[in-house]
Amino acid sequence: MHFIGFYDYTVWLTYLSLASATVGMISAFRGDARLAVFCIMFSGFCDLFDGIVARTKKDRTQDQKNFGIQIDSLSDVIAFGVLPALVFYRLGVNGTIGTVILVCYVLCGLIRLAFFNVLETKRQADPTAPACAKEFRGMPITFSAMIAPVVFAVSHLLPSDVRTWFLHIAPALMAFLFVFDVRIPKLDVGKLLFGKKN
């Protein structure tokens, strides 16, 4: 019996991130915003280490590398695009204006991920390129794993009228930063945590 796709340890964290996002979406539908936000954070934790884990396998084929790029971005658009949009919706970002903001949020996140895939595919095809990109172009959608929980926590400290504006402005600003061509230095997590390049 043979299955399509890849199932070795290099993609386990990505699959776990998607599983967490699915639980988060179900929780958001049920009205449990706290659990949904926790799932965003847990998916962010998985995403933080999935690249480091993948690069420990030195004999990956090009198909495995390309699969990793695609599956990571497909998971990210759900965990850090669709799931936060559902949480914002449950928190009151709805109506015509709220819907437009959330559509733009998910769309800009998708565009950012697709652009990343193009750059990463080109980088991996270049034998002189470094093992890992040194900077981000546009704010990575995965930053939602840090920003969304902060927005969620702060929103509960605000008066109701201010809270409504705050919850609308936050995803709109995040959407803009996803596609705005700002250069952000990339933190070497492997070096920071383990004293070596990841």
Topology classification of domain 9-194 = Four Helix Bundle (Hemerythrin (Met), subunit A) (1.20.120)
Integer Cα distance of 43 and 26 in angstroms: 15
Domain ranges of the chain: 9-194
CA angle 142, 20, 78 (to 5 degrees): 50
Going along the chain, which residue ranges are E strands? 135-137, 183-185
Residue 158 — pLDDT band, cuts 50, 70, 90? Answer: very high
Locate all alpha helices (DSSP H) within 126-157, ordered by sequence.
144-155
Residue range 5-40, pLDDT digits in tens: 999 999 999 999 999 999 999 999 999 999 999 999
The residue that leads in pLDDT, 62 or 192, is: 62
Q: Which residues contact 127 (CB under 8 A, 6 or more apart)?
A: none
pTM of the model: 0.89
